[in-house]
Structure 1
Amino acid sequence: MMLTIQYSKLSAAIGIVFTCFLISFIFVPKSYAMQMSSHQQLAEQVEDYLLQHIDIDGSENTKILVREIDERINIPNCSEAFVFTSNNMQAKQSNVSVKVQCPNTQWYLFTHATVSIIKQVVVANDNLSPGSLLTKNNIQVVEIDKNKLRGSTFSSLDEILGARIKRRVRTGNIISDRMLCFICKGDRVTIAAVSGGLSIQVYGVAEEDGVLGETIQVRNLSSDKLVYAKVASTSEVQIHI
């Protein structure tokens, strides 16, 4: 009988402890979660502010990472909307600081964000040696932070398929027009003399390297004369007359 009473008391004690633990588990983290939510909400507002005001080309893909706001900072219940200001809103700035203020109080804080303007660029998918023909197998399109780019780049494979590499390129290197020739010196090409809707074609040999849209010297094989013509493709140059 005594053993039964002691067991009942022990069970009751365990039940009380478990209930207290359950209450603390449910209610304490809830208030903590609410506090975390206010920090996260403010960070999202900072991100929205930057997306709306940063000086970028609307066609570009922008990625903004707002640094976590210290959980120990007390964010007030601001009766008016928070006000956001920043002095470095240029796209070239990868690190941006934003001041957050509550207009009806003296409260404010500075938060920081990393801004990346993402651009699609063509890179080598393999090690390429001089003379290599660019195909869909040895180049690919990747996304890179625009602030890390230097010089001219290409955004799609179709722009440079059929061009050739002029110097050694390693896997992952960004392809620029300085690395390429759409028509290379010594190539046999078609010279198209275009006038209105008419086109007369003769054969020639390129005397220098050229990329699309560039004017190069070409020797007319019929007359053996040098002419200047614009690179139109990997096999044709054009003269507009």
Structure 2
Amino acid sequence: MRHTKHFLFFSLLLLIKQPIVAATELDSAFIERFAKTYLAKYFPSSDDEKVRISIARLDPRIIIKPCKIPLTANIPEKSGARNVNIKISCDESIPWKIYLSAKVEITKAVLIAKNTISQGDKLDESNIELAYIAINKIRGEKLTDKAIVFGAKAKRRIGKGKTISKKSICLICKGDVVTIIASSNTFTIKTQGVALSSGNINEQIKVKNTRSNKVITPRIKAINQVIIHL
């Protein structure tokens, strides 16, 4: 009777372990999902950037062995490129590994021209919008905040679909009449001036005070407004 109980006990243990062994059986679909999940964490999306991941299908002739421990993944060569290789490994006593290739497309939200903007045109909802552009096609610093550029003028012609940069616009342009705000801890004085150079928010430009004819270098505060701290 005692031996019978031991036999039943060990038989029960074997039955309990069977599903765990079966759960470690792997196929190409599982490996591909595992690789995509890893890449999604390696290249996370955000409000400013979107990531699209495409995993190449495994060669159906590859035999995938079971693995009784969690799989690991890594990119052997660190890369921000569009094409990457992922290594999937099983680090058991008899280890194995599989390599998969994937395409990673990262796009960034930047301001572009809805239609052709002529030199001198003001930027607003009618002619600019946010669009996601592949980062490998973006050159230099591009603007992403509509609030910063609304009311600014195009310094040169901007073609339809082209990105908006600081070099292509000016919040205050040379020749504009501006309000000069001279500010201290105790008082604020306002007067008029003429911009002698062009610039954008928080940039310093040359301005001629129309009352004193003195040239000063205040910072741009807003459209047609500059400020100098006394």
Provide the residue aligned with 1:166 in structure 2: 155
CA distance in 2, matches of 1:197, 1:119: 44
Q: CA RMSD in A?
A: 2.3
Q: Does 1:213 align with 2:202?
A: yes
List aligned pairs for 1:1-241, cutoff 5 A. 38-54=27-43, 60-90=49-79, 92-104=80-92, 105-196=94-185, 198-241=187-230
Q: CA-to-partner distance for each residue in 1:150-187, whole Å, 9 max, x for gaps?
A: 11111132221111111111110000000011100000
Q: Please, which runs of 5 or more residues in structure 1 have no aligned partner?
A: 1-36
Percent sequence identity is 31
Q: Please, which runs of 5 or more residues in structure 2 have no aligned partner?
A: 1-25
Shift in CA distance, 67/147, structure 1 to aligned 2, threshold 3 Å:
same
TM-score with structure 2 length normalisation? 0.80
Q: What is the deviation of 1:127?
A: 0.8
AA aligned to 2:178 is V
CA distance in 2, matches of 1:60, 1:127: 25
Q: Please identify, of 216-225 and 71-80, the stretch whose mean Cα deviation from structure 2 is larger.
A: 71-80
Instruction: Write 1 or 2 for the structure with the bigger share of helix.
Output: 1
Instruction: Verify the 8 A CA contact 1:53 1:89 in the aligned structure 2.
Output: no
Q: Please identify, of 200-209 and 66-75, the stretch whose mean Cα deviation from structure 2 is larger.
A: 66-75
Aligned residue pairs total 204
SS in 1 for 2:206: strand
Instruction: Verify the 8 A CA contact 1:211 1:231 in the aligned structure 2.
Output: yes
TM-score with structure 1 length normalisation? 0.77
Q: What is the deviation of 1:55?
A: 8.8
SS in 2 for 1:216: coil
CA distance in 1, matches of 2:168, 2:137: 18
List 4+ stretches of structure 1 deviating above 4 A. 54-60
CA distance in 2, matches of 1:107, 1:87: 15
Shift in CA distance, 138/58, structure 1 to aligned 2, threshold 3 Å:
closer
Q: What is the deviation of 1:99?
A: 1.1
Q: CA-to-partner distance for each residue in 1:59-89, whole Å, 9 max, x for gaps?
A: 7443322222223322222222222121333
SS in 2 for 1:232: strand
Q: Return the index of the structure with the highest Cα Rg.
A: 1
CA distance in 2, matches of 1:194, 1:142: 39
Q: CA-to-partner distance for each residue in 1:101-144, whole Å, 9 max, x for gaps?
A: 22234432211222233321000000111111111011110112
Instruction: Verify the 8 A CA contact 2:49 2:109 in the aligned structure 1.
Output: no
Shift in CA distance, 57/134, structure 1 to aligned 2, threshold 3 Å:
closer
